[in-house]
Homo-oligomer: A and B are copies of this chain.
Amino acid sequence: MPSFKTSIRVTAVDTDAAGVVHFSNYFRFFERAEEEFYRALGFSFTDFHSRGLWFPRVEAFCQYKKPAVFNDVLEVEVTVDELREKSVRLGFTMLNTETRDFLASGYLVVVAADKQTRKATQMPAEAFEKLKTYAKQVL
């Protein structure tokens, strides 16, 4: 299955007094990679929002192996681990681009939802079809 890769530079504010990237920021990096992935797939957020859709997260997980520090360039790989009609589980793996050290991995479960009712709803067909070409499993 194909995957998507992007790189993120660690900036000062991403770190904390322990000298390493704060653990909560890995989730922000995951989301940035997710957004880049969608853009690469040609998703139009503006279009989705104007149709009253949003994509809340219902689960988030990360396992930390090695710390990242200021100025590191991180390679984030996104995989589509499970695709359902109303949700998708995206997997993330993070490496240090230079050393190739494995830093962290995790996932996000994202649901298509109606902005008004806040209920889960069918994913837009074009988004589903595009994600499908990356999906390890369609359930």
Report A's interface with B, CB cutoff 8 A: 9, 11-13, 15-20, 22-25, 27-28, 31-32, 35, 45-46, 54, 56-64, 67, 69-71, 118
Contact = CB atoms under 8 A, between A and B. Distances in A.
A71 B43 CA distance: 12
A24 B13 contact: yes
B56 A67 contact: yes
This protein's copies in its complex:
4
B12 A15 contact: no
Contact of A56 (B9, B17, B64): B64
Contact of A62 (B60, B67, B70): B60
Contact of A12 (B35, B62, B70, B118): B35
Contacts of A46: 71
Contacts of A31: 11-13, 23-24
Contacts of A27: 23-24, 27, 60
